[in-house]
Amino acid sequence: MSNTLISERPAGGAPRAYEFPAITRTEMPGGEVVAAHLPGQRMAYAGVVLESGFVREPVGKEGVGKITADLLREGTELKTGDEFALALESLGASWSGSVDSDVLRVGVQAPVDRIAAAVALLAEALRRPRLAENDFDRVRSDRVAKLTTAWAMPGTRANEALNRGLYLPDSRYSKQDTGTVASVGALTLQDVRDFHAANLALGGTLLLAGDLSGVDTAALGKILLGQAAPPVAPPPETGARDLVDREIVVVDRPGAVQSVLAIAHHAPRRDTPDYTAIEAMATILGGTFNSRLNHQLREVKGYTYGARGGFDLNRENGVFSATASVHTEVTADAAVDALAEIERIKSGGVTDDELASTKAYRTGSLPIALQTPGSVGGALAQIVEFGLPDDYYTRKYTEYTQLSKDEVDTAATKRLFPENAVVVIEGDAEKILPGLTEAGIGTVRVDDEGQA
């Protein structure tokens, strides 16, 4: 039996022009309305971004931000939790919420002809939450249970040790973003009320995305931002550790049949001018199944089911990280090979084929990813949170079409520091320590400071 090639695979065409929806901004007494008009989109997104990220949690109250965000949908001063859920359902609306290092974001999606009622419901939940004792006890217990389960899963302890390796002990970044079993378990309802009063009661930015041709965006802004808000205080210092030499940190997990490998170092802020080049380089290194890290560690060596790497850039700082779960017996070899791949792209750059494939992937996926009101709302949140220009996504698309190999190679040289990385390995210390010491890739120490 033979196969005959009857046609050539069609080649991709030149990328089409893309333009992110135009943004309008309306100043309000308590903040700003940032809106994107999407003609023909009958669903709409309304969200609020507040300067209430986990960096603003009081010392010893780690996790209070996420608990507060969870409680916002548990009822208001005017509605029980069941009544609030029914009110959302009656509007055909869905609720979303998230907390990162810098901001807290909550939002609703609803049919555009009901978006005013949805915004009123959002404002009621945000400004006048019920914050009842029984709801708090249940939400806190659920969070403690999740944290306890996470601590038993591979990777959580490695991530915690990685944070301690990157940041000073007094830095909020040195601790889990969700808090610990101890910190969350010790929270009180008054802690939540205090955090809400200090961070959520006033102010913010209202995001709107959908067909807004018949929507009075200023009127919606007045619902949420009609009352003047005090100036936002600057966040605490990041507290990053100076990374001089490579550190190998072992987190003992006796009996583990796999090791969790994590390599990380500091990176620039999200608003860095070379973000597109950094993203392209990271895609080639560890951002797709065909990336160098996954190809070497999975396809060539068979150490793991998957390896990945990339940059997580925030308002004031950033982190590069590469991770994989590998067989215990090849832990040291996997660490050596992962570091070598990072060094190889840093010193040798990328190939023309890798760059062409990445540019095609990014220019093809970006417009598709920004087609819905919810995804455009998420893009607006990025613009607000990181102070990006209103036409940022239009610029980014154009940058990808024009991105050169020299720019990507420069990003690799300038932004990767495997020689100064923190390398954390969570696994059976008795089995993996000899190989790591013999590998000679850095000073090896055992971290036993972990806390669930």
**Domains of the chain listed by start with CATH number:** 24-226 (3.30.830.10), 247-446 (3.30.830.10)
Segment 7-36 shows an average pLDDT of 89
- Residue 6 pLDDT exceeds 70: no
- Residue 7 pLDDT exceeds 90: no
pLDDT digits (tens, 9 = 90+) for 270-282: 999 999 999 999 9
Segment 239-254 shows an average pLDDT of 95
Q: Return the pLDDT at 150.
A: 94
**pTM to 2 decimal places:** 0.93
Confidence class for position 4, pLDDT limits 50, 70, 90: low
| CA 285 – CA 305 distance, rounded (Å) | 16
pLDDT digits (tens, 9 = 90+) for 109-141: 999 999 999 999 999 999 999 999 999 999 999
Segment 419-431 shows an average pLDDT of 97
- Tell me if 450 sits within 8 A of 161, measured CB to CB: yes
Q: Return the pLDDT at 42.
A: 95
Q: What is the mean pLDDT of the chain?
A: 95
277-280: long-range pairs with CB below 8 Å, 24+: 277/403, 277/407, 277/408, 277/410, 277/411, 278/311, 278/313, 278/411, 278/415, 279/311, 279/362, 280/355, 280/358, 280/359, 280/362, 280/400, 280/403, 280/408, 280/411
